[in-house]
Structures are given as structure tokens and as C-alpha cells.
Structure 1
């Protein structure tokens, strides 16, 4: 097994600051979180931003300032979300790439998202894939259901490999409306990666809410990587709220080390994922 990547997703677009005060929503809070998570073992930060009202935004000026601030304060790979909130228009989601992150997410299909629908049309997916390649941004292909992996295989067959030549996916599991967050689902998706996608494709896995631990442990055992953070869970264990994103990154690092795997630093992560 290779060393393990830890991605931290500290904020997201769903959790309310009013309901969960530790959530980092200001730029200073996000930078402080990034620094502490890098110290805990994270090498990638998956970024959603909030406006002055603490609500999700895709404002390009704020995104650019965020990328610059994270690069100044850390060595983390900066990965922007092009998903935003489920209500964001495609034009705003595409414009995220103009902030020039190292990586960005590219969701590989439409999925029910609780009571809403996270829309990802085929033409939008292909435009996002091509725009990332043109702008030198490495994608992380977000997989909410098994069919999204065959959709990715179709994308690569028709439109070629991404910038950097390496394919990396993230299984986002346990979303109401998407694939289950359990061990059989992780192993089924890991098998589909090996069958349908280019040799050497890497995967990470994310478990939402109470699915965090089974998804994390199964991904580690299957040779995958990890994404953790307050975007995905606000509970550390039953009856105990998450104190910080660094707490979640530390637990992920402990899981990798327990399995005898090195925790990759940002330099090692860039090398593995083909980030220049």
C-alpha cells in the first residue's frame, strides 16, 4: 500500500454557524484551521467559503483571497469545491477555476441530496473537465453513487485524461439519496475503480455523519485515502461533538499509522497526484 493522503473539508455548504459555532467561516478562522490541520497530518484542504453573513458563496474575489491566504500560511494543496451549494448556477461553479487552485472537485453525476437535487448535467461535467485541463487545475472526481464511476470512465474515454495525467476520485458516502456509507459500498467502489478506470487511479473516501468511521476504516484497509472534516460530520463519537477539524485529521492520521501506512505530507501528495 502507498502512503495515505488526508484531505480536510473544514466548512462545507450545509452546516450552519449558528447551529455549530466551531465551524470556520471567516478567512482568519479558515487559515487557522488549515495551519492546525496541516500540523495534524492533512495535506489537502477542500474549500467552501462563506460570505459576511456566514452563508455559502462562490464570490470570485473571496475565493481568490482564500487561495492566496492558504498558500501564504501553509504548504497544503488547495482544492476548491465547484459544487458550492446545490442552488448555485453552473456559470458560478465554472468561474471557481479562475481563482487558480491546485485542485478542484468535479462531481460525476446528478444525485438526490436530502430534499434537494444536486444537478450535474453531462455537458456541464465535460465543460468542467476540459476547463480544468486548460487552466492547469487537477480534478478530484466526486463520486456519490456507483454509476458515477462508469460515467467517469466514459468521460475519460471521450475527452482524455485530466491535467497532470493522474486520475483521483473521492467516494462521498452516506448522503441521503446517494450510496450508503458502509464497508460493502467502499469495497464495491474500490473494485469498480480497478475494473473501469486507468491503472494507478487512486481513491479517497468520505463518510457523512455516523458513517464516518466505517468508511474511514474500510478505505484505509482497501489502500485508499481519507477525507474528514466538519463539512461531513459534527460528531466525534456518540454524544460528543467535534472540537476542531484538527481533531478529525489527527484521528485519520492515527488510523493510517495503525495500518502501517505513512501519512503523506503535501510534497508527497503532490507527487502522487501529479500536481506540479
Structure 2
């Protein structure tokens, strides 16, 4: 089994410390989580920033400040920002965030970008112009069909081929199963660069299954707070460490 790239998604847009006291919200907490997760085996970090109130934010200033701090604290960790709307931000605001932050890597949900077809080509063109790698967030095979259509029409540029398959986000109780990966691979069998994340207690089982199929992995509190037995992970680094241990066991 090849060694997958492991990205930690430590907080997401919706969860709070009421969900888990170790969920990182403030800048110091995010930086400390990055350090411990990198030490545990994570190669990259999927970044969400929050307002002072704890609410999800696409504020460019907050992003730039956090990216700068992370670059100093974990210079060898690859950083990705989210453009997730969470029902709060328009495509125009998402585009403005990208243009102001100018990140090296960003995740973009095609179903969100499709809300404004006048701006959709500008989103991908802006990323291409600034040298920002795009990872398309795909929740189902309809999203895959949309990506294929936009690639054929030139809305998505040829080198913007990286995708994240998301399991369980819209299933009852946000529970995923390793078998949920099959429709994604059937719909996009030749994806050159794909990653998986999975909601619920079977998160790690889904990730191990993806690794066996050549996928990269995203793990962390954005997707699951608990292990397969329903016991909470102590923190994000504990989840990363447990995944790394499982990968080593599966490879031996």
C-alpha cells in the first residue's frame, strides 16, 4: 500500500468547544494543533478561521495572519484554506477571499460555485492566475458530473484536477461506511489526485479503505470526533496518530 498524503482538518465551520473541548478555534489553538498534528504524522492542514464570536469566517485578514503564523510554526506543513460558504457567503465573497488571500492551495465546492455561473469561470481563472492549487469538494456523483462538464467546457482548467471525495456528509446521522467510496471511484476512475474524508465513527475505516485504493487522506475533528467504538479522541493529534498506526498495521 503506498504511503498516502495525510491532511488534518482540525475544526471545520460548524463545530464548537461544546462539541469537544479540544476543538481549536483561536489562532494560538490552531497553531498548537498544527504543531502536534505535524509531529503525529500529518503532512498538511485544511484551515478554517473563525470570528471572535467563534463563527465561521472568510475574512482575508484573519486568513493571512493565521497562514503567516502557521508558516513560521510548521514550515514543512502544506496549508490549504477553505472557501466554504456555510450558507453565509456568496460566490462573489468567496472569490474576493481568494483574490485577497492569494493562497497556495484552496478547497472549492463545485456545488457552491454553481450558485453563480457568471462568476464560476472567474473563480477558477483567478486560482490559475495566482498559482493557487484547487481541490474540488465532491459530495456525490452529481458533483462529479458537474466537474466533468466544467472541465469539458473549459470553466475548470486542465491542471485543476485534484478532488476530495466526501463520505457521509448528507447521510442520516452523518455516518459513512467504506463501501460508500465505490460510486465515487466508478464515476471518476481515472482521477490523478484524489483524497477522501469521511464523517462519523467509521472515519478511520473509510480512510484505510481509501489508502488501499491509492487515495490520500483527510482526518480530523471537522469530520469525526470519535473512534470506531464511539469514544472521543483526546484531540486532533490523537486521531492523526491513531490513523498513522492503523496505516502501518495495514501495510505490515
Q: TM-score, normalised by structure 2?
A: 0.88
Deviation of 1:100 (Å)? 2.4
- Mark the runs of 5 or more structure 2 residues left unpaired by the alignment: none
Task: Give yes or no for the alignment of 1:188 onto 2:178.
Answer: no
SS at match of 1:79: strand
Task: Give yes or no for the alignment of 1:167 onto 2:164.
Answer: no
Residue in structure 2 matched with residue 89 of structure 1 by the alignment? 90
SS at match of 1:63: helix
1:88-167 equivalent positions in 2, closer than 5 A: 88-97=89-98, 98-109=100-111, 120-121=114-115, 123=117, 124-159=119-154, 162=157, 165=159, 167=161
Deviation of 1:161 (Å)? 6.1
Supply the distance in 2 between the matched residues of 1:259 and 1:150 (Cα, whole angstroms).
33
Q: TM-score, normalised by structure 1?
A: 0.81
CA distance 1:185–1:236, change in 2 (3 Å): closer
Deviations 1:89-128 (A, max 9, x none): 2222122222122210111225xxxxxxxx7426244332
CA distance 1:69–1:84, change in 2 (3 Å): farther
Supply the distance in 1 between the matched residues of 2:160 and 2:250 (Cα, whole angstroms).
25
Aligned length: 248
SS at match of 1:241: coil
- Which range moves more in the overlay, 56-65 or 238-247? 238-247
Supply the distance in 1 between the matched residues of 2:199 and 2:146 (Cα, whole angstroms).
23
Supply the distance in 1 between the matched residues of 2:147 and 2:249 (Cα, whole angstroms).
32
Residue in structure 1 matched with residue 206 of structure 2 by the alignment? 215
Counterpart contact for 2:120–2:155, Cα < 8 Å: no
**Structure 1 stretches of at least 4 aligned residues deviating more than 6 Å after TM superposition:** none
Residue in structure 2 matched with residue 256 of structure 1 by the alignment? 247
CA distance 1:158–1:137, change in 2 (3 Å): same
Supply the distance in 1 between the matched residues of 2:84 and 2:223 (Cα, whole angstroms).
14
Supply the distance in 2 between the matched residues of 1:12 and 1:172 (Cα, whole angstroms).
14
Supply the distance in 1 between the matched residues of 2:182 and 2:67 (Cα, whole angstroms).
34
Deviation of 1:54 (Å)? 1.5
SS at match of 2:227: strand
Residue in structure 1 matched with residue 197 of structure 2 by the alignment? 206
